[in-house]
């Protein structure tokens, strides 16, 4: 059972005991109050019965006296005396009614009998008072039977009230004794149960917390393979142990990722260092040519001998070619920087891709001759027009063709294109060579900036490793993609996928 459930169960049990104690207390208070009220009513009824009995006796004596005077004298009863007599009877009647309010339950039947006899007696007396001055009125007021009946009923009710008062007193005593015993038992039961539950909870939580402490100490010491798995809890402590275990896994994975990131950063730094070395070499090569031939021309211009114009023109051509090579290298670096900073944009226009590819092939002709390669062009006649950036499209194919020629000797390079039947509105362009090829491991980073297949590639073939990275970024920018398939010693095939629909171009870009 989880710690939360144990605490909840303990709290519920304690609250039940507490509620039982409180309920017992209120029940006892209520019972005492009810019994006390009934006892007070019984005592008040007994007192009121005695008072009514005295009033009835006084009123009977007064009526007997008046009856005797009426028979012996002709004295009339005054209005004031009559009013006082009627008021006295009203008072007696009101007290009897009040006695009825105090007589409920077991005394109600006795009161009803009293009410019948007393009402008959009071009506008899009221009739006597009101007919006192009438000489024709005849009534035997010396008959004691009505009074005795009312008095007997009143005495019976009084005895009943006294008996009930005694019973109520006994009930009050028993109720007080019972509630006191229940309260004491509940109090000691609550203390015992609270202490028992507290002991088991402390023992359980202490054991679990010690195991958690041991686990955190092992984690803190660097033992991230340790597991806290011996906690018999499916709730908070178990969740806490799982959280520590998850934290250990995440820390171990984070350390692994950090080490992996460090290795990647070291590799990236090494690649950038190699890139800087390659760039410095690539920059120095055309710069040395420019400076060397410029100094040579400068010295020749200082000589008084005739200028060898063909040689002079050849040297100037070398300077121009080296300058263009240097400009191309600087443009590649600037283009990569613009792409990485998000400042490279498209300048879309409608153009014929066949024309642009042929222009790139024409520029490549001198390089093909140097490496004794053959360029084959196929399936470029009926291509639809593209709405895209023609300059970036040209640069992509210039880079791909240059790369293919660079790594191919005495082979051939094939350029082809076709619409994709499965994807209407898209064209694939392929550049295939029979060069040295790329291994499967090297293909995972062949499109990364500053990276080349082997560290010796730059020394053997030249270049900085930017061409394919720029081609990949330009293809993405134009809404397309570039992929490669290759095999060591057989050759490589680079495939470019470009959209023909202007909407696709903007949506993909």
Give the range with max mean pLDDT: 123-132, 262-271, 435-444. 123-132
- pLDDT at residue number 184: 81
pLDDT digits 0-9 by tens, 365-386:
778 888 889 998 886 767 888 8
CA angle, 393 as apex, 415 and 469 as ends, to 5°?
90
Q: Write the CA distances from 63 to 58, 130, 132, 140, 178, integer angstroms.
A: 9, 12, 10, 11, 54
User: Do 248 and 221 form a contact (C-beta atoms < 8 A)?
Assistant: no
Lowest mean pLDDT among 248-252, 338-342, 468-472: 338-342
pTM: predicted TM-score of the whole model, two decimal places: 0.43
Thinking of the domain 3-199, which architecture would CATH place it in? Answer: Up-down Bundle (1.20)
CA angle, 33 as apex, 30 and 35 as ends, to 5°?
105
* pLDDT > 70? residue 340: no
Mean pLDDT, residues 13-36 taken together? 74
Mean pLDDT, residues 79-87 taken together? 90
* pLDDT > 70? residue 504: no
* pLDDT > 70? residue 348: yes
d(CA 105, CA 109): 8
What confidence category does residue 484 fall into, taking pLDDT thresholds of 50, 70 and 90?
very high
Q: Which of the two residues, 270 and 45, has the higher pLDDT score? A: 45
Mean pLDDT, residues 482-502 taken together? 89
Give the range with max mean pLDDT: 280-294, 302-316, 404-418. 404-418
pLDDT digits 0-9 by tens, 392-439:
898 898 889 988 988 899 999 999 988 888 888 889 999 999 999 888
Thinking of the domain 345-508, which architecture would CATH place it in? Answer: 2-Layer Sandwich (3.30)
Q: Where do we find the tokens 């088991």?
A: 200
Arithmetic mean of pLDDT over the chain:
79
* pLDDT > 50? residue 335: yes
Q: 185 in helix, strand or coil? A: helix
Q: 448 in helix, strand or coil? A: coil
On the question of a common fold for 235-344 and 345-508, the answer reads no
Mean pLDDT, residues 117-131 taken together? 90
* pLDDT > 50? residue 459: no
- pLDDT at residue number 3: 60
* pLDDT > 80? residue 113: yes
Strand pairing class (412-419; 374-378): parallel
**Helix H or strand E encompassing 123:** helix 108-130
- pLDDT at residue number 360: 83
- pLDDT at residue number 492: 92
- pLDDT at residue number 370: 85
Q: Which of the two residues, 336 and 215, has the higher pLDDT score? A: 215
User: Do 420 and 495 form a contact (C-beta atoms < 8 A)?
Assistant: no
- pLDDT at residue number 262: 85
**Helix H or strand E encompassing 432:** strand 426-433
Lowest mean pLDDT among 29-43, 384-398, 442-456: 442-456
Give the CATH fold of the 235-344 domain: Helix Hairpins (1.10.287)
Lowest mean pLDDT among 100-114, 278-292, 300-314, 342-356: 278-292
Domain boundaries, the chain: 3-199, 235-344, 345-508
Mean pLDDT, residues 159-187 taken together? 78
What confidence category does residue 276 fall into, taking pLDDT thresholds of 50, 70 and 90?
low
* pLDDT > 60? residue 311: yes
Give the range with max mean pLDDT: 23-27, 120-124, 363-367. 120-124
Q: Which of the two residues, 57 and 39, has the higher pLDDT score? A: 57
User: Do 453 and 439 form a contact (C-beta atoms < 8 A)?
Assistant: yes
């Amino acid at each position: 059972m989880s710690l939360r459930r144990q605490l909840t169960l303990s709290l519920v049990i304690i609250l039940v005991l507490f509620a039982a104690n409180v309920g017992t207390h209120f029940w006892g208070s209520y019972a005492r109050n009810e019994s006390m009220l009934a006892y007070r009513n019984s005592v008040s009824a007994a007192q009121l019965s005695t008072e009514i009995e005295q009033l009835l006796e006084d009123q009977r004596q007064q009526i007997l006296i008046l009856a005797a005077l009426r028979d012996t004298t002709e004295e009339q009863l005054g209005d004031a005396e009559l009013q006082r007599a009627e008021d006295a009877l009203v008072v007696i009647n009101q007290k009897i009614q009040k006695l009825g309010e105090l007589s409920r339950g077991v005394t109600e039947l006795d009161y009803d009998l009293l009410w019948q006899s007393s009402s008959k007696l009071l009506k008899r007396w009221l009739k006597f008072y009101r007919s006192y001055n009438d000489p024709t009125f005849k009534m035997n007021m010396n008959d004691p039977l009505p009074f005795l009946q009312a008095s007997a009923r009143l005495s019976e009710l009084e005895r009943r009230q006294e008996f009930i008062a005694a019973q109520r007193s006994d009930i009050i005593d028993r109720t007080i004794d019972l509630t006191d015993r229940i309260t004491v038992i509940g109090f000691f039961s609550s203390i015992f149960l609270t202490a028992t539950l507290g002991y088991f909870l402390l023992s359980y939580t202490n054991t679990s917390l010690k195991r958690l402490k041991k686990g955190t100490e092992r984690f803190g010491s660097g033992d991230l393979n340790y597991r806290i798995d011996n906690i018999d809890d499916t709730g908070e402590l178990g969740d806490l142990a799982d959280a520590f275990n998850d934290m250990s896994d995440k820390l171990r994975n984070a350390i692994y990722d950090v080490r992996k990131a460090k290795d990647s950063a070291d590799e990236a730094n090494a690649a950038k260092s190699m890139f800087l070395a390659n760039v410095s070499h690539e920059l120095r090569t055309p710069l040395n040519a420019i400076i060397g031939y410029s100094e040579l021309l400068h010295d020749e211009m200082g000589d008084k001998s005739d200028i060898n114009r063909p040689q002079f023109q050849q040297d100037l051509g070398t300077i121009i070619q080296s300058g263009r090579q240097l400009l191309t290298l600087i443009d590649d670096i600037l283009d990569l920087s613009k792409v990485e900073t998000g400042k490279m944009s498209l300048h879309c226009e409608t153009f014929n891709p066949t024309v642009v590819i042929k222009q790139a092939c024409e520029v490549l002709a001198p390089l093909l001759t140097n490496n004794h390669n053959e360029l084959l062009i196929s399936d470029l006649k009926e291509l639809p027009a593209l709405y895209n950036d023609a300059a970036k499209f040209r640069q992509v194919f210039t880079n791909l063709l240059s790369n293919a020629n660079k790594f191919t000797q005495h082979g051939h390079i094939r350029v082809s294109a076709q619409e994709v039947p499965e994807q209407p509105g898209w064209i694939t362009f392929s550049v295939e060579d029979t060069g040295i090829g790329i291994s499967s491991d090297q293909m995972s980073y062949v499109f990364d900036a500053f990276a080349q297949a082997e560290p010796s590639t730059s020394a053997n073939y030249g270049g900085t490793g930017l061409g394919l990275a720029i081609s990949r970024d330009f293809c993405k920018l134009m809404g397309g993609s570039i992929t490669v398939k290759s095999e060591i010693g057989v050759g490589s095939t680079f495939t470019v996928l470009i959209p023909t629909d202007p909407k696709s171009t903007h949506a993909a870009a």
